[in-house]
Amino acid sequence: MASKPTTIRAYHIEQESTLLSSGNECLLKLLREHLPETSAGDRRMRLSKQEDEEDFLSFYDTANSYLFGAVLNITPGSQVGEIQPEKFAQAMITTEELETMEGDDKSAKYKQCYYFALNASHLVTTLPGNAQISRLETYLNWLLRDKRDDAIFKLRSVITKDLAFNPSELREIVFLAPSAKRVGSPSKPQATEEKATFSVIWDNIGRRLGFTNDNMQELITQDAIQAELCVKFMRPRHLKSSEYERLIGYQLRNISDLGDVKIKVGKGKKQYIAGNEILREKTVQIELTRRNRLVEEQLKQEMERFLVELKKE
């Protein structure tokens, strides 16, 4: 049977409010209490009022110490493999069912599927590295919006214990921007806030260097210019290593491409390490079905093992 390498990423579960007395366990506890009361349709979260794209928890499975689930991203459509409207009345929609469904113009087409598992203290997920964990964080908080009072659950990246340096030695985090060519030219308005910010940067840089718009445009066209943001840290003596680790975890958790982040450690050291080298993740071989889908039971057990490892660390 064919298999596929699958990367699982790890996160601490944290809670901003102390109103719920049972701490991080509340997320697992609340999900266990709330999910049996819902249908698949109740778990559909629209991503934007302007678009029809949605995320929803299609199915889940609970055990004594953890919960496992699959999140689908769906849009309206009419092709084989889509979800017919009446299916959302079910408690769950499995991936096996999706393979046999034939849709119509009222059906929803799923674009992406990822998995997660959580226990009382950690969450692990196959959410791709180019996607932000805030997407899952937002979904879980939305799902429990009527159950969690004023508590907000947050997911913080787990830092690997195999670091070649102590978190307290952190000196710089350098963010490499997308290439200017991909961002766009200074003379053209940009569609997003992120791109608009880069547009302003290139305009200012060009003026300070005495470049005309044409000169700047040529550099951009040739992909010959790049910007980076360097964040320097001057550690106060009272700040503990554990607080530095927390700082790094939050700093890196929502960067879509950690290969474009460099971290410098220690005084006078010139070596930088890539951001994705310090995060706790695990790559496992998961067998594929005849339809080239992950064998979910095997993935679930690998995620369970990972959660046990994290609990012991």
**In a structure prediction context, what are the per-residue pLDDT tens digits for the chain, which is 313 residues long?**
799 999 999 999 998 875 655 555 689 999 999 999 999 999 999 998 888 889 999 999 999 899 999 999 888 764 445 677 888 999 999 877 776 655 555 556 667 899 999 999 999 999 987 788 999 999 999 999 999 988 899 999 898 877 766 666 777 888 776 554 444 444 443 333 344 334 446 777 777 888 877 787 787 777 777 777 888 877 666 777 777 777 777 777 767 667 678 888 766 656 778 777 888 999 999 999 888 889 999 999 999 999 999 999 8
Q: What is the pLDDT of residue 276?
A: 76
Q: What is the pLDDT of residue 190?
A: 39
Please, what sign has the CA dihedral across residues 22, 25, 30, 33? negative
Q: What is the pLDDT of residue 185?
A: 40
What are the distances in angstroms from CA 181 to CA 175, 194, 221?
17, 14, 6
Helix count (H) and strand count (E) of the chain?
8, 12
How far apart (Å, rounded) are the C-alpha atoms in residues 8 and 279?
Answer: 11
How far apart (Å, rounded) are the C-alpha atoms in residues 298 and 209?
Answer: 57
Q: Which residues contact 239 (CB under 8 A, 6 or more apart)?
A: 168
Q: What is the pLDDT of residue 132?
A: 87
What are the distances in angstroms from CA 47 to CA 73, 75, 136, 138, 140?
10, 10, 12, 10, 13
Cα-to-chain-centroid distance, residue 4? 20
Buried b (16+ CB within 10 A) or exposed e, 70-104: bbbbbeebeeeebbeeebbeeebbebeebeebebe
> Cα-flanking dihedrals φ and ψ of residue 9, to 5°?
-105, 150
How far apart (Å, rounded) are the C-alpha atoms in residues 19 and 172?
Answer: 36
Work out whether strand 261-265 and strand 170-176 pair parallel, antiparallel, or are unpaired.
antiparallel
